Structure 1
Amino acid sequence: MMRPLCFVLMPFGRKPMPGGGTVDFDAIYRDMIAPGIAQAGMEPVRADGELTGGIIHKPMFERLILCEYAVADLTTANANVFYELGVRHAVRPGSTVLLFAEGETRLPFDVAMLRAYPYALTGGGIAAAPETVAAEIAKRLEHARNGEIDSPIYQLVEGFPDIQRLKTDVFRDRVELARSTAERLAQARGAGVEAVRAIEEDLAPLADREASVVIDLLLSYRAVKAEGDMIRLVSKMTPALAQTVLVREQLGFALNREGRRAEAERVLTELIAQRGPSSETNGLLGRVYKDQWEAARTAGETFRARGLLDKAIATYLRGFETDWRDAYPGINAVTLMELRDPPDPRRTAILPVVRYAVERRIARGEPDYWDHATRLELAVLADDEAGAAEALGAALAATREVWERETTARNLRLIGEARARRGAATVWVEELEQALGH
């Protein structure tokens, strides 16, 4: 299982103390902080490795923000450390453990309120009891995992935004992209995979690029159906960026599209185990089980196929129950319920909830392809030919990427096949599928 990253904010080398003597921060990191992080089951990432000439640059900020946890040593009241701590507290609600050398540092009033842990130094400027402090660091990181809030902003400002909840489809709209690169990628998505690869070559090395640019590159590969390139790109990302929720979700998506379903399942189940269920992650995992079900059905594995279908339904439904506003896992759940033999009776109760969710989203303005595709599938499930025709026209007009229509056409084909087995008329459903280009 991929271990969470823990960013270490501290000076490096030997630093003088105001009262005389020096502190060996490299030894403190090696003997005390790194072991404590390891005991908590995390991977340390030290901040000083990201500094260039004393300047805190953009990739440094991204690692600082994207790492799930952090340990900050406030000894010597280093200006960079306090600045980095302020950035952490602005965007992370409860994920930073504070330390300082007892008797050597007078903490500012507002920081002192955050329960920084004191440790003793020897005459040589190293930790006097590194094992004890390491154990305390591990304990406090475990508390951070349980969601304890240590950020003044989160404590004082209700509803402060969580950067991990940004959706894939609005990521480009929520971050500042380098304008020229964004325009080139937009053009490349229309030209094909080779054009996107050419831009990736120009962006090398990716570690020096803003996270937003790398993410736009990843989603551009998705747009041109280059799932293998998506997997390769994730392997080239910095560990901090590669471990974000969005990237791990897209990695699971790409692995599944490449037929590497066991790997996709592992990536997504680990993410749910660490972060809890969500409409997006559960929706992607539900798609993995849905593809496994279809493969088992095609292979004639009747009983295994039935179990996988029920597993896919439960996974989609769990995602929808996590966030009723997101119709994506909901429509997939009711569609698969229709495909069971006999159909799952729960679908009649869930379908109106899914319809309300998508209608409210459309009413807020600027609906996307998936909103109209959801209306299309809902109309088909309700045997509403007129409503399906109207939703189809809106979906075709809102199409952004080819694979979107392929997904909808596939669902309509599955619904038509299930109804044909029951003796129902499906000609109009087949016509809808053909209109989507398949």
Structure 2
Amino acid sequence: MKPLCFVLMPFGRKPEGTGRIIDFDAVYNQIIRPGVEAAGMEPIRADQEEIGGTIHKPMFERLMLCEYAIADVTGANPNVYYELGIRHALRPHSTVIIFAENTTLPFDIAQQRGAPYRLDANGGVVDGEGDSAMIAQRLRTANENTHDDSPLFQMIDGMPRIEVDHAKTDIFRDRVAIAREYRDALEVARRQGVDAVRAVAADPRLAELRNVEAGIIVDMLLSFRAVGTAEGCQEMVALHARMPKELQHARMVREQLGFALNRLGRSDEAEKVLVEVIREFGPNSETNGLLGRVYKDLWEKAKADGQRIPARGYLKRAIETYRAGFEADWRDPYPGINVVTLMEIQDKPDPGLEALLPVVRYAANQRATRDGGSAGDYWDHATLLELAVLARDEEAAEEAAATALALVREPWEPATTARNLRLIREARETRGEDVAWLAELEEALADAEARMMAK
């Protein structure tokens, strides 16, 4: 039976002190995980901090019961430091600290023997194989001696050492295996539809969510979202009501609740949830993007109902909300593309559109060519598609559409893009422009949605 190694680190793409954007998922997959496995250990990664920094029972169990731990302190992520502090208080040794080369460590841990890994100027991995070997060696060394690496146990005589009951460790291992089982089951179920996801969620072992890992709960929430149906959104709202209070309050979970409520036509409730998140945490590209969608939907409804003046007000609020989200993080083109699209479809196109368009285009190009020029994801190229449409560049629009359609994962992705293109097409038709080429792109997106729904 392999020893368990708990990995404490950020998730996704995050900035660090020098301004570089680091892809921590790539660091995990190319450096940390191979290193842990080469040391003969089984890696377990902490739940994504997008859950909102929620620390609950399963997280404490991992910090206490995993025989080894790796903490990546790059970027001074507060969740990682909090978890590292708990680990040092619980375990006298077997915790390895790693960081990107040239990271400035705070005084508290600067004296600890850490291991640097190498990244290039763009935050990409330089030598995954070499750095993995270094991590494997550090873990083997930790396995061969009982030297205390916790500053608490080094400096304070008589610190109590916890003796872990083997029965408790066995139960913990069973839970880890169950967590993997559910994640695998949900990955399959989300491609099969809402009934399949519902069947996984109905497992009796998930009845009491207080004892279920936050990561599994959030996987269920996002799996119901991924099916792209009203039923899925209803299940999201119902699942939220069953969650532990601390998880209900997490920003990411509240954002998803707002998304589901809006898709169910409960726009007032969705607006309230998302406005409260922004009031508590400040403007954010994700939260503002979701709230902007609420106002965008209200604008479309008012417009369809012939309510010209209310429609104008909702459109204005949507533009302001998306813009605040883009200004909160210029690197995220999602709220930016919505700003420039809505500026375009106003009765009189906003004169600020020409100034903002290059900024959004730069952010979108940076996102689409990250990781040394790899393909990016669907949304990267869907954004480039919309930008090409706004620029009336048919050739670039077709090229971006072809790339985006090859990267579709969920049916609601092309449906969302087709909706935005329709709004642009209708606005331009009203002005007397030839928009036949736009209709062809919409049709291709609709076909992609239909294919994904048929799978």
Classify the TM-score, shorter chain.
0.5 to 0.7
* 1:352 has 2:358 as partner: yes
Query: Which residue number corresponds to residue 46 of structure 1?
Result: none
* 1:397 has 2:406 as partner: yes
> Deviation above 6 Å: which 4+ runs of structure 1?
none
Q: CA deviation at 1:65?
A: 5.3
* 1:379 has 2:388 as partner: yes
Question: Per the alignment, do residues 423 and 155 of structure 1 end up closer, same or farther by CA in structure 2, a change over 3 Å counting?
Answer: farther
Which of 353, 362, 365 is the aligned partner of 2:368? 362
* 1:254 has 2:260 as partner: yes
Native 8 Å contact 1:313 1:336 kept in 2: yes
Identity %: 53
Partner AA of 2:218 in structure 1? I
Give TM-score, length-normalised by structure 1: 0.62
**Cα distance in 2 between the residues matched to 1:399 and 1:352:** 26
CA deviation vs aligned residue, 1:242-289 (integer Å, no higher than 9, x gap): 111110000000000000000000000000001100000000000000
Q: CA deviation at 1:94?
A: 11
Question: Per the alignment, do residues 279 and 154 of structure 1 end up closer, same or farther by CA in structure 2, a change over 3 Å counting?
Answer: farther
* 1:421 has 2:430 as partner: yes
Q: CA deviation at 1:157?
A: 7.6
Query: Which residue number corresponds to residue 329 of structure 2?
Result: 323
Query: Which residue number corresponds to residue 195 of structure 2?
Result: 194
Query: Which residue number corresponds to residue 185 of structure 1?
Result: 186
* 1:267 has 2:273 as partner: yes
Query: Which residue number corresponds to residue 338 of structure 1?
Result: 344
* 1:212 has 2:215 as partner: yes
Question: Per the alignment, do residues 371 and 341 of structure 1 end up closer, same or farther by CA in structure 2, a change over 3 Å counting?
Answer: same
Q: CA deviation at 1:154?
A: 7.1
Secondary structure, aligned partner of 1:319? helix
Query: Which residue number corresponds to residue 410 of structure 1?
Result: 419
Secondary structure, aligned partner of 1:290? helix
Question: Per the alignment, do residues 64 and 405 of structure 1 end up closer, same or farther by CA in structure 2, a change over 3 Å counting?
Answer: closer
Secondary structure, aligned partner of 1:437? helix
Query: Which residue number corresponds to residue 397 of structure 2?
Result: 388
Q: For structure 1, list consecutive stretches of 5 or more residues without a partner in the other structure.
A: 1-57, 69-78, 80-88, 96-107, 109-152, 159-175
Secondary structure, aligned partner of 1:398? coil
Secondary structure, aligned partner of 1:325? coil
Q: CA deviation at 1:192?
A: 0.9
Native 8 Å contact 1:63 1:240 kept in 2: no
**Cα distance in 2 between the residues matched to 1:342 and 1:157:** 57
Q: CA deviation at 1:368?
A: 1.1
Query: Which residue number corresponds to residue 290 of structure 2?
Result: 284
Question: Per the alignment, do residues 331 and 64 of structure 1 end up closer, same or farther by CA in structure 2, a change over 3 Å counting?
Answer: closer
Partner AA of 1:190 in structure 2? R
**Cα distance in 2 between the residues matched to 1:309 and 1:155:** 50
Question: Per the alignment, do residues 64 and 395 of structure 1 end up closer, same or farther by CA in structure 2, a change over 3 Å counting?
Answer: closer
201-210 or 428-437, which moves further after superposition? 201-210
**Cα distance in 2 between the residues matched to 1:427 and 1:90:** 49
Secondary structure, aligned partner of 1:66? coil
CA deviation vs aligned residue, 1:221-241 (integer Å, no higher than 9, x gap): 001121110111111110111
Q: CA deviation at 1:66?
A: 1.5
Question: Per the alignment, do residues 156 and 215 of structure 1 end up closer, same or farther by CA in structure 2, a change over 3 Å counting?
Answer: same
Q: CA deviation at 1:204?
A: 2.0
Query: Which residue number corresponds to residue 436 of structure 1?
Result: 445
Question: Per the alignment, do residues 206 and 271 of structure 1 end up closer, same or farther by CA in structure 2, a change over 3 Å counting?
Answer: same
Give TM-score, length-normalised by structure 2: 0.59
Partner AA of 1:199 in structure 2? V
Which of 305, 311, 331 is the aligned partner of 1:305? 311
Native 8 Å contact 1:372 1:394 kept in 2: yes
**Cα distance in 1 between the residues matched to 2:409 and 2:416:** 13
**Cα distance in 1 between the residues matched to 2:53 and 2:361:** 37
**Cα distance in 1 between the residues matched to 2:246 and 2:440:** 47
Question: Per the alignment, do residues 372 and 157 of structure 1 end up closer, same or farther by CA in structure 2, a change over 3 Å counting?
Answer: farther
Secondary structure, aligned partner of 2:432? coil
Question: Per the alignment, do residues 394 and 156 of structure 1 end up closer, same or farther by CA in structure 2, a change over 3 Å counting?
Answer: farther
| Structure showing greater Rg | 1
CA deviation vs aligned residue, 1:293-319 (integer Å, no higher than 9, x gap): 000001111011111101100100000
Secondary structure, aligned partner of 2:446? coil
**Cα distance in 1 between the residues matched to 2:362 and 2:78:** 33
Which of 247, 258, 273 is the aligned partner of 1:241? 247
Question: Per the alignment, do residues 296 and 239 of structure 1 end up closer, same or farther by CA in structure 2, a change over 3 Å counting?
Answer: same
